[in-house]
Structure 1
Amino acid sequence: MSDWDMTLPRAGGDACGRAAFKVQPEDFRVEEVLPFEPCGEGEHLFLWVEKAGQNTQWVARNLARIAGITPSSVGYAGLKDRQGVTRQWFSLQLPGKGRADDLDWSSCGEGISVLKTAWHNRKLRQGALSGNRFEIRLQDIVGNQVDIDERLRGISHNGVPNYFGMQRFGFDGGNLDKALALFARKLRLKRDQKSIVLSAARSWLFNQLLAQRVREHTWSCLLEGDVLTFRDSHSLILPERRDDTVTERFVSGELHNTGPLWGRGSLLSEGEVNAWEASLAERWPELCDGLENAGMNQERRALRVTPEAMDWCWIEGNLSLSFFLPKGTYATAVLNEVFENIS
């Protein structure tokens, strides 16, 4: 398979225009939100770090170097974009609290600042976050401001298709090419690299299913065979387990319909929804079979995401937006619903 088509349909129709994204690091600000506060005691030192121009793993290695510990003793909840100004927590396992007083965080590297510290009794694990707050400035906008405002109002009420971001797939779909080579036993990868390409394959299949439902205008409709999930958890409601409250909770945004993250096991959907999902194995058998043989299990992901506390304003022709998104979702999915070629 080659020539991966990265075009995804918009729920609202054609884009409203074009805009320059990430012209400067300050145009893209991200602040991580944890579901807990450090408790103030324990052997894990939490650092609230602001970074610009560096990726999360690079910062983690530098923190480990300064603290004189192994990189595996450093924890973080999520990977943050290199291009932008981001704030996130890191944890360092330091059994002797007195050691922390002598550490010089000013040598973390250019563009890296430790803003505050706190102690906690557990390491920060990947995925242990509620989500991220975004502050985004778009420049050089070409398009009608009235149309853009109308599209943004629709997004704030109805959400957007919960596509995986294009960064998952690598340049020109390179991670997908690696996945096919891995499945054909033509490529061997280290554990972390293998995880990346397996995730890319699952994300691609999910995006294709979601794109089909966007074209069918059913991505945000409650269908009889849909499997539902909660806005604030990964628990599922199977089609046969619905009660009389489901429709109202779906309309309010408390519940979302889901699509498969491919792997071993039976699809949980029913009827027409199940037929759409099963067709993935017919259209992309190399990816589906490869994921199953790699030991991945079937999971589910919400088909829609609604930005919370969404606000925007126009300043000298530039558009500034702010909103919160739950973990695992992408700001580019919101922006691409309005503008062309945001990545």
Structure 2
Amino acid sequence: MKWPYLTEPEQKFSAKFKSSPQHFIVEEIPAYLPAGEGEHLYIWLEKTNLTTDQVIFRLSQALGMKTKNIGYAGKKDRVGVTRQWLSLWRIKKEQIVDVQIPGVTVLQMDYHKNKLRPGHLQGNRFSIFLAEADAAAPGIARHLFAKLETTGVANYFGPQRFGIKGDNQLIGMAILQSDWQRVFRLVLGNPDEVEKSVQILQARILYEKGQLTEALNLWPKEQFIPRNLLRRLIETNGDIAKTARRFSGKQLIFYLHALQSFWFNRCLAQRIREINRIWPGDLAYLHKNGAVFRVADAEVEQERADRFEISPSGPILGRKMIEPEEKELQLEAKVFSDGRPDFSGLKSKFTRRNLDGGRRPYRVPFQNAVVEYDNNRLLLKFDLPAGCYATSVIRELLKENFPEPDYQIPDFTAGN
């Protein structure tokens, strides 16, 4: 399945997205800057074609420190150039000088009292080049950007959340149902030509053949989850049930987050035509501080929504998620109850996995937008709040020309 678009389907153009790392540039907008003293060294770095996790892992190796002592405000994807802050506990400036990590350049550093934690940023500034864009592209882009500045951006979780094959949510569902045979096969096996890495594809084939050690040797070192699963599986002589009992649930929480994200996206897809409208019974999201309140008078609150002070919110399942009322409750129950008789039972399963959940706005503000065009190359600049995906903007421009997987819908009934 694909997510519906917010803007007019006929307003689109073709272009190449992420044709090189330098065509996708992200710069964090920090919530604060280091104060100059403290036991955490903040480093402002630029990384190219590396995920934030990969940089953290390689820094920990180079500095002889644990990854848990390296803080970050937001995780960034691999493909592209990113400038972001990291914090290093009890590391001195002089220790950084001799660290050489390919693809990483330290631009600035200073000390601060606290560790950087997820969410410690205002947002992200994007500069994205689209190659081979035709002459109509800038006019269409400006038209669509004007619409997004008014309505906001549909706050979909991006395709990177669901993996190359669009199946991370299937793994999350299998974990929720304790279907460990399926979990291990989806994470370690299930070879598919969609897999971009020949090395990983071969590792998946070896797993399917039962050659666990050989598969482990092929998985890249930065692929923590599959490597740890394989190590534990080898230790138990291939006993999946025993391995599952030994494996930390925290190490698999990434897939549960993908499942939460998938269901949020499905709810957003159902509401896509009215994400700037407030309904009675909505849980409105206050953009200035992230607070949520129940809407009593939709007509009064609509005025605040028109000023972009508030937006309707959708569900992130977990123990802290508040349920809406009336029309939005019916929408969410329909999505969650698709093939399942028990909406509350599904929520309780996330609660038992210690997932907080909450509410996420269906739309977010789109600011400081710029469109430039030169020699068939389109430059797009814009700011988005923390936790939002630039792909939600680009897919509105390219529509079906945007590269994304066919998202697979989890089986709600298997294993129950």
Query: Do they fold alike, i.e. is TM over 0.5?
Result: yes
Structure 2 Cα separation of the partners of residues 244 and 116 of structure 1: 49
| Alignment check: 8 A CA contact 2:276 2:305 kept | no
- The C-alpha deviation readout for 1:156-205, integer Å capped at 9, x for no partner, is 22222111101111132321221122122122454444211111111110
- The C-alpha deviation readout for 1:98-138, integer Å capped at 9, x for no partner, is x7253244533112100011100011112222111111111
- The C-alpha deviation readout for 1:211-267, integer Å capped at 9, x for no partner, is 0112xx222211122111112321012123x59863222101111111111234774
Of Structure 1 and Structure 2, the greater strand share is in 1
Which stretch shows the higher mean deviation, 264-273 or 130-139? 264-273
Q: Which residue matches 1:224?
A: 280
1:300 to 359, 362, 367: 359
Please identify the structure whose Cα radius of gyration is greater.
2
Determine if the alignment matches structure 1 residue 134 to structure 2 residue 126. yes
Per the TM alignment, residue 206 of structure 1 is displaced from its structure 2 partner at its CA by 0.6
Determine if the alignment matches structure 1 residue 152 to structure 2 residue 148. no
| Alignment check: 8 A CA contact 1:138 1:318 kept | yes
Query: Residue 315 and residue 270 in structure 1: after superposition, are their counterparts in 2 closer, same or farther (change >3 A)?
Result: same
SS in 1 for 2:281: coil
Which stretch shows the higher mean deviation, 257-266 or 36-45? 257-266
Which stretch shows the higher mean deviation, 27-36 or 58-67? 58-67
Residues matched between the structures, number: 331
Q: Which residue matches 2:206?
A: none
Residue identity in the other structure for 1:61: F
1:108-119 matched pairs, under 5 angstroms: 108-119=100-111
| Alignment check: 8 A CA contact 1:27 1:84 kept | yes
Determine if the alignment matches structure 1 residue 166 to structure 2 residue 227. no
Which ranges of structure 1 fall in alignment gaps of 5 or more residues?
none
Residue identity in the other structure for 1:235: A
Query: Residue 143 and residue 303 in structure 1: after superposition, are their counterparts in 2 closer, same or farther (change >3 A)?
Result: farther
Query: Residue 265 and residue 305 in structure 1: after superposition, are their counterparts in 2 closer, same or farther (change >3 A)?
Result: closer
Residue identity in the other structure for 2:31: P
1:208 to 266, 269, 286: 266
Query: Residue 101 and residue 213 in structure 1: after superposition, are their counterparts in 2 closer, same or farther (change >3 A)?
Result: closer
Determine if the alignment matches structure 1 residue 341 to structure 2 residue 402. yes
Q: Which residue matches 1:272?
A: 327
| Alignment check: 8 A CA contact 2:318 2:358 kept | yes
Identity of aligned residues (%): 31
Which stretch shows the higher mean deviation, 258-267 or 166-175? 258-267
| Alignment check: 8 A CA contact 1:64 1:92 kept | no
Q: Which residue matches 1:254?
A: 309
2:66 to 53, 67, 70: 70
Q: Which residue matches 2:172?
A: 179
Per the TM alignment, residue 304 of structure 1 is displaced from its structure 2 partner at its CA by 0.7
Structure 1 Cα separation of the partners of residues 172 and 321 of structure 2: 22
Structure 2 Cα separation of the partners of residues 158 and 168 of structure 1: 24
Per the TM alignment, residue 45 of structure 1 is displaced from its structure 2 partner at its CA by 0.6
SS in 2 for 1:149: helix
Structure 1 Cα separation of the partners of residues 339 and 36 of structure 2: 50
Query: Residue 104 and residue 183 in structure 1: after superposition, are their counterparts in 2 closer, same or farther (change >3 A)?
Result: closer
| Alignment check: 8 A CA contact 1:59 1:108 kept | no
Determine if the alignment matches structure 1 residue 11 to structure 2 residue 6. yes
SS in 2 for 1:107: coil
| Alignment check: 8 A CA contact 1:16 1:338 kept | yes
Structure 2 Cα separation of the partners of residues 204 and 259 of structure 1: 12
Of Structure 1 and Structure 2, the greater helix share is in 2
Which stretch shows the higher mean deviation, 83-92 or 106-115? 106-115
Query: Residue 237 and residue 195 in structure 1: after superposition, are their counterparts in 2 closer, same or farther (change >3 A)?
Result: same
Structure 1 Cα separation of the partners of residues 48 and 163 of structure 2: 21
Which ranges of structure 2 fall in alignment gaps of 5 or more residues?
181-243, 405-416
Structure 2 Cα separation of the partners of residues 149 and 234 of structure 1: 29
Query: Residue 267 and residue 10 in structure 1: after superposition, are their counterparts in 2 closer, same or farther (change >3 A)?
Result: same
Query: Residue 106 and residue 50 in structure 1: after superposition, are their counterparts in 2 closer, same or farther (change >3 A)?
Result: farther
Residue identity in the other structure for 1:210: L
SS in 1 for 2:359: strand
Structure 1 Cα separation of the partners of residues 141 and 126 of structure 2: 19
Per the TM alignment, residue 89 of structure 1 is displaced from its structure 2 partner at its CA by 0.6
Structure 2 Cα separation of the partners of residues 168 and 284 of structure 1: 24
| Alignment check: 8 A CA contact 1:160 1:337 kept | no
| Alignment check: 8 A CA contact 2:141 2:371 kept | no
Query: Residue 302 and residue 284 in structure 1: after superposition, are their counterparts in 2 closer, same or farther (change >3 A)?
Result: farther
